[in-house]
Structure 1
Amino acid sequence: MLIQLTDVSKGRRGIALPATTLTYRSGRATLAMAETEQRPTVLGLIASGRMKPDSGSVLVDGARRSRDLRRRSALIDAPDVSEPAPNIIVAGVVGEELMFAGRLSDPLSARRWLDDHGLRHLSRTPFADVAPRDRLRILLELAALRPGVEALVLVSPDRHGGDPRDWWLLAEEFAGRGFAVLVIAGQAAARVISESPSSPRPRRRAPRVRAVSPGLRRRKDVTR
């Protein structure tokens, strides 16, 4: 699977997202830089086929297939769009994500899933209090269960703190499983990763945004 974004932008004069070009593909983890509160989410929505850019093009395997991209991708932990509610306990988040994956989603099934991944001790923990690496492991593993999903778009993992190299190793792990992985993060995190061995070359993004793009209300039917 090959996803190509060419000069995509959003908002008047590109204020929500300036002209952006990037490519991500199956079997590879790609790091893109986006600063400010809003731009990472806007880029994630466009890169996963959930928002139409105001200009530019999004191609999937060389063709315009936005509906196909949305079906074959998962938008993960995007602020105010697909992030889990902070006060919901881990078992509740797991149950909801199992439901999206078409699996049994009752409390017992959620606890069994946590057992299988060595995370049962977190079952009653509010999701906002989960350590960054465990949080992202849970969300990536559950997104990977969804039928037909081949691309994983992870938004702003750096906002949770911790060592950026931890979530980058997770991204590379899932790319090794065959997924097309796109991680959107800020410049500081990208700099840490770029200084590590075998680091990616992050895509450069434009500077600060001071306006909110329309159409970013949370809607579970379109964001997952």
Structure 2
Amino acid sequence: MKIELRGVSKGHEGEVLPRTDVTFETGQAVFARAETEQRPTVLGMLASGRMKPDEGTIEIDGMADAADLRRRVALVDAPDISEPAPRVTVGAVTAEELMFAGRASGRRAVHRWLSHQHLDHLLRRPIATVTPRARMHLLIELAVLRPDVEGLVVVAPDRHGGDPRIWWDQALSLADRGFAMLMIAGYSSAKVIGAITDDTDRESGDAEREGGRS
């Protein structure tokens, strides 16, 4: 699977999102830089087929098919769109996602799944109190349970704090498993993971780095 965003923008003269090019595909993790509070979510919605661009094109495997893109690409932890409510427990988040994936979602099933992921100690914890590493692990592993999902777009994982190299390594691990990964975050994270190597202020939203382990 290959997703290509070419010259996409949103808003008058790109005020919401300036012209942006991003490509991500099966077996790769790609970092895209997007600044301001709103732009990461807008880029994430475009890249996962949840929003139409005002300019530019979006294709999946060479076709402009937003429905297919929505089916095959999960939008993970996007503020105000797909992020769990802060007071919802890890157990409740897990139950809901198991249900959406067509799996058993009762109390025993939830505990069993969390135990398999070594997260059962967080069962009753509000999601907002979970460490960035555990939050990312939980949400991406739940997202890939859906049978048609082949790629993930993760929005602003840097907003939760922690070392960006942790969630970048998690993205690389998912790419190793055959998923297409797009991680959208800001300048500081780009510097830490080496997506940019100098102080040049490149256009927000440009894909800065891609990676994958063979």
Residue type of the alignment partner of 1:50: R
Match of 1:19 in 2: 19
Residue number in structure 2 paired with 1:110: 110
TM-score for both structures, normalised by structure 1: 0.87
Query: Matched residues in 1 for 2:195 and 2:22: separation?
Result: 21
Q: Structure 2 matches for 1:152-171, cutoff 5 A?
A: 152-171=152-171
Match of 1:90 in 2: 90
Q: Deviations over 1:160-207 (max 9, x none)?
A: 0000000000000000000000000000011000079xx9xxx95439
- Equivalent position of 1:74 in the other structure: 74
The AA in structure 2 aligned to 1:139 is L
Report SS of the residue matched to 2:68. helix
Quote the residue 1:206 is aligned against: 204
Does 1:7 find its partner at 2:7? yes
Is the partner of 2:159 in helix, strand or coil? Answer: helix
CA distance in 1, matches of 2:120, 2:112: 8
Post-superposition shift, 1:117? 0.9
The one-letter amino acid of 1:194's match is: G
TM-score where L is the length of structure 2: 0.91
What residue number does 2:63 align with?
Answer: 63
Q: Which residue of 1 aligns with 2:140?
A: 140
Q: Give the direction of change, closer, same or farther, for the CA distance of 1:204–1:70 in structure 2 (3 Å limit).
A: farther
For 1:120, give the aligned amino acid: D
CA contact (8 A) 1:35 1:205 kept: no
- The residue number in structure 2 matching 1:219 is none
2:39 corresponds to which letter in structure 1?
R
- Deviation per CA, 1:29-64: give whole Å up to 9, x if none: 000000111000000000001100011000111111
In 2, Cα distance between equivalents of 1:57 and 1:156? 23
Deviation at 1:147, TM superposition (A): 1.1
- Distance (whole Å) between structure 2 residues aligned to residue 51 and residue 35 of structure 1: 18
Check 1:33–1:195 CA distance in 2 against 1; reply closer, same or farther (3 A cut): closer
C-alpha contact 2:31 2:182 (8 A) present in aligned 1: yes
Is the partner of 1:64 in helix, strand or coil?
coil
The question of 1:100 aligning with 2:100 is answered yes
From the superposition, tell whether residues 136 and 205 of structure 1 become closer, same or farther in structure 2 (CA, over 3 Å): farther
2:27 and 2:175 in contact (8 A); partners too:
yes
| Residue matched to 2:210 | none
Mark the runs of 5 or more structure 2 residues left unpaired by the alignment: 206-214
Give the Cα separation in 1 of the matches to 2:129 and 2:148.
31
- 1:154 aligned partner, one-letter code: V
Whole-angstrom distance in 1 between the partners of 2:16 and 2:3:
21
Q: Distance in 1 between matches of 2:145 and 2:85?
A: 20
Q: Give the number of equivalent residue pairs.
A: 202
Give the match for residue 47 of structure 1: 47
Tell me the CA shift for residue 154 of structure 1: 0.3
Letter in 1 for 2:148: G
User: C-alpha root-mean-square deviation of aligned residues, in Å?
Assistant: 1.7
